[in-house]
Amino acid sequence: MSDKALIRARAAELRAFFEKAGAVVAETSLLQPAETLLDLYGEDIRARAYVTSDSLLGEQMLRPDFTVPVVQMHMEHGAEPARYTYSGEVFRRQEEDTRRANEYTQVGYEIFDRDNPAAADAEVFALIQEALSPLDVRVSTGDIGLLKAAVQGLETTERRKAALARHIWRPRRFRSLLDRFAGRVEVPPSREALLAQDEPMQSGVPFIGLRTPAEVSDRIEALREDVGAMPISAGQVELLDALLDVRETLPFALEQLRDIAVDLPAISPAVQSLRDRIEALDKRGVNVDAIEFEGSYGRTNMEYYDGFVFGFYAEGRADLPPLATGGRYDALTRVLGQGNEIPAVGAVIRPEVVLQLEAGA
């Protein structure tokens, strides 16, 4: 059998496994409207996805993932709760690394369920683990919801919280904002000069473009408020760093997070969710003592995961992409649902990585 045929056969097995677990097969188009994806992911998606176009329909993208079309399909006419599985190719540009595949197969499992998020998280995770079970894998997990809650819990202005929350997925930007809000770096000279002026709007230059004078003066107001605001305390920054630095097996991570929650009570509900998730995983027979939790895991992915996140990696094979990745994406359903939303969690397996590992074993 050719490589492609082998991958297809392995993908079919995995999909059948997910069907047996109760999922309905979902089919999506290879060509996806570019606008939705661009609005969701921003320019970064252009660097990752192949864009094509015609003179009638305009720009379209070769399916970079299944999540978006599956969510759209569900939001339009899905019954609740729902479980879907799918198998097919996705396409990603690889302009930085020629060894990475620009076309590969994904087999996925997605749950849309309002009742019990912890159980749904555990179900997806346990199924993926079972599907990969004979292989020597390392698992990493994290929780973007904890980070979001921690940012919301900082004692600072709403604007600063919003700015930090917006950049959770851009660690460098997040850090430089945090340094500034904590008073660890000087206010840039140009900003100081601007705020020293009595009438900064009277610059004498003509107003051009779509961004209005009102928008400019609003931002100056925001900058004034920011300069006058109390710095985020060193203690709070330490708490946030402690959270980001957590790197333990699940039960120990929970202990550490509980300690952090004593001083940062805003994360308590998220810590509670983690506890529920650990219990649900345990109930499903997952050995939670063997699963690592990293406080900063999932921060460099595309920004739709907003809760539980996880990845399965081939032990000792840093050259291989992850065997499987997944997570919770409640906010995505809100964005795509046009007024509707539903908690959702899912994951994908890459069968050709599974095959590579099976062949090497």
Partner 1 sequence: MTIKLGVPSKGRLMEKTFDWFGERGVSLARTGSDREYAGKVEGVDGVELVLLSAGEIPRELAAGRIHLGVTGTDLVREKLGLWEQQVEVMAELGFGRADLIIAVPQCWVDVDLLDDLDAAAAAFRKEHGFRMRIATKYHRLVRDFLRENGVADYQLVDSQGATEGTIKNMTAEAVADITSTGETLRANHLKILSDGLMLKSQATLFRARRAPLEGNDRKVLETLLETLDL
Residue 197 vs 272, nearer CB to partner 1: 197
Single out the segment in contact with partner 1 by CB under 8 A; choices: 215-223, 227-235, 275-283, 308-316: 215-223
Distance CA 204, CA 137 (A): 64
The CA angle 348-354-357, to the nearest 5 degrees, is: 150
Whole-number Å distance between alpha carbons of 148 and 158: 13
The structure tokens 């700015």 sit at 163
- x/- site string to partner 1, residues 242 to 281, per CB under 8 A? ----------------------------------------
Bridge partners of 303? none
CA angle (300 as vertex; 294, 304 as ends), nearest 5: 100
Cβ closest to partner 1, residue 6 vs residue 220: 220
Shortest distance, position 221 Cβ to partner 1, whole Å: 10
Residues 25-84 touching partner 1, rule: CB under 8 A, are: 38-39, 42-44, 46-47
Selected range binding partner 1 among 84-92, 193-201, 239-247, 255-263, rule: CB under 8 A:
193-201
Query: Taking the complex as a whole, how short is the minimal distance between the CB of residue 193 and partner 1, in angstroms?
Result: 9
Give the H/E segment covering residue 87.
strand 82-91
Out of 213, 228, 316, 339, the residue judged to bind partner 1 by CB under 8 A = 213
**Alpha-carbon span 260 to 274, nearest angstrom:** 14
Task: Extract the tokens encoding 194.
Answer: 């601007």
Count of residues interacting with partner 1 (CB under 8 A):
40
Query: Could you say which of 134, 209, 228, 339 contacts partner 1 (CB under 8 A)?
Result: 209
Are 174 and 303 contacting, i.e. CB atoms less than 8 angstroms apart? Answer: no
Calculate helix-pair angle for 144-152, 234-245, nearest 10 degrees.
180
The distance of closest approach from Cβ of residue 181 to partner 1 in the complex, given in angstroms and rounded to an integer, is: 12
Write each residue from 157 to 176 as x if it is in contact with partner 1 (CB under 8 A), else as -, in one continuous string: ------x--xx--x-xxx-x
CA distance 317 to 132: 15
Q: Of residues 76, 130, 215, 255, which one binds partner 1 by CB under 8 A?
A: 215
- Residue 142 phi/psi, 5-degree rounding, is -160, -175
Q: Point out which residues bind partner 1 (CB under 8 A).
A: 38-39, 42-44, 46-47, 95-96, 98, 163, 166-167, 170, 172-174, 176, 188, 190-191, 194, 200-201, 203, 205-211, 213, 215-216, 218-220, 222-223
